[in-house]
Structure 1
Amino acid sequence: MKKFLLSVFLLTLACGAVASEVPFNQAKFDQARAAGQPVVVYFHADWCPTCRVQQPIVARLAVEPQFKPVTIFEADFDTETALEKTLKVGQQSTFVVFSHGHEVSRSTGQTQEPAIRAILQKAL
């Protein structure tokens, strides 16, 4: 029975039945926004202690069924400087939330799971 449940879980993941957490890609981001899909851009840095707290929370929430339609783009704060300028992001550990192609919310430095959940829900 355990093998069967594991197989079902892995198949569900492979079929995209959960939110996707992907590295930032400008073309895919533009396409998702143009289509009005729920999108969150998460600016993080490997050296950032706040980001280290946020990362496992985001990963946990991303697999919850309610966030299936949300694409979470992970933008490296140290390399995505053009995106930072475009979105006016000045600090790592920032979430920028889009719904129906428009920014609807942003948050910086949040490390509590209920608050991060609320941020992601704004994309829906």
Structure 2
Amino acid sequence: MAKKSFAELIKSPGMPVLVDFYADWCGPCKTMNPVVEQLAKDFSGKLKVIKINVDKNQAAAQQYRVQGVPTFMLFKNGQVVWKQAGAVPGHQLSQIIQQHTT
């Protein structure tokens, strides 16, 4: 099976896509990992979650002007509807996702 490009991954019809741009060396990224995993479970079937390692996928990071990690982006129909750099409280991420899944 062919590996999907980033552009293909974010164009999930009818389902928002949360992208977590992270790096292995990033402390706040490690702190956010369990939060992101829990959100993926909480919104299963309503949200696609993608983790992008910026060191291994620099093209996507540059294309979306990711200047710090973690950076979270929410895509709907392939378009960015929300973006924030830095650690985000889980309840805040959940509220933002809820706004775009209902």
**TM-score for both structures, normalised by structure 1:** 0.68
Instruction: Give structure 2 stretches of 5+ with no counterpart.
Output: none
Report if the CA contact (8 A) 1:39-1:70 is conserved.
yes
Task: Say if 1:40 and 1:25 are closer, same or farther in 2 by CA, change over 3 A.
Answer: farther
CA RMSD of aligned residues (A): 2.3
Q: Secondary structure at the match of 1:62?
A: helix
CA distance in 1: counterparts of 2:8 and 2:67, whole angstroms? 21
Q: What amino acid does structure 1 have at the position aligned with 2:66? A: V
Task: Say if 1:87 and 1:32 are closer, same or farther in 2 by CA, change over 3 A.
Answer: closer
CA distance in 2: counterparts of 1:34 and 1:51, whole angstroms? 24
CA distance in 2: counterparts of 1:114 and 1:42, whole angstroms? 16
Report if the CA contact (8 A) 1:51-1:92 is conserved.
yes
**CA drift at 1:110:** 2.3
1:44 to 19, 22, 36: 22
Instruction: Give structure 1 stretches of 5+ with no counterpart.
Output: 1-23
Q: Give the alignment of 1:22-101 within 5 angstroms.
A: 25-26=4-5, 29-30=7-8, 32-33=10-11, 35-64=13-42, 66-101=43-78
Report if the CA contact (8 A) 1:37-1:70 is conserved.
yes
Greater relative CO, 1 or 2 (CA 8 Å, sep 6+): 2
Percentage of matched positions with identical amino acids: 25
CA distance in 1: counterparts of 2:45 and 2:73, whole angstroms? 18
> Which structure is higher in helix share?
1
Task: Say if 1:54 and 1:101 are closer, same or farther in 2 by CA, change over 3 A.
Answer: same
